[in-house]
Amino acid sequence: MATASIFFSPVTPEEINATQIIEGQMARHLGIEISEVGPDFMRATMPVDHRTIQRIGILHGGASLALAETVGSIAASYCVDREAFYIVGQEINANHIRPVSTGQVHATATPLHLGRTTQVWDIRIKNDEDKLVCVSRFTVAVLKRS
């Protein structure tokens, strides 16, 4: 039995990468790309390289948060009628579990709550070996366009 989609309308990674992750924005600077959209999740990748590491050569915690907020924000924005509503971040937190010094990290955003005025997202970031790197919870406000 097919799972109903949480997203307001069908969307593909290619569409998102072409329209949401554009030149001049942080996601593009950090090399973040949406890699997969499932019926109840969205996944993004980010390289661990000179743009995303700290001075000791491991993934910067701020880069992890930027990845989490990017995939969470984009996923949240596709869970509403984008003609009538928009979303803004309200709060984000993270626990950094293990360091990463090479490869890519993969963030999966799944909703914990999809309400009329707020959404809460769980974002799990893993390394190329599928080991947990960071867990984040991200809350957004759903606002009516004027």
Q: How do the pLDDT tens digits run along the chain, 146 residues long?
A: 567 899 999 999 999 999 887 777 999 999 999 999 999 999 999 999 999 999 999 999 999 999 999 999 999 999 999 999 999 999 999 999 999 999 999 999 999 999 999 999 999 999 999 999 999 999 999 999 99
CA distance 14 to 11: 8
What per-residue confidence (pLDDT) applies to 61?
A: 98
What per-residue confidence (pLDDT) applies to 2?
A: 62
What per-residue confidence (pLDDT) applies to 19?
A: 87
Residue whose structure tokens are 């097919």: 2
Which structural domains are found in the chain, ordered by start?
13-144 (3.10.129.10)
Residue whose structure tokens are 């909703």: 111
Q: Active-site residue 36, yes or no?
A: no
Q: Which two tokens stand for residue 8?
A: 């307001």
Q: Which two tokens stand for residue 92?
A: 């984000």
What per-residue confidence (pLDDT) applies to 29?
A: 95
Query: Among 36, 69, 83, 91, which one carries the catalytic annotation?
Result: 69
The residue type at 76:
A
CA distance 78 to 13: 12
Q: What angle do CA 94, 109, 57 make, to 5 degrees?
A: 50
Residue whose structure tokens are 């990468």: 17
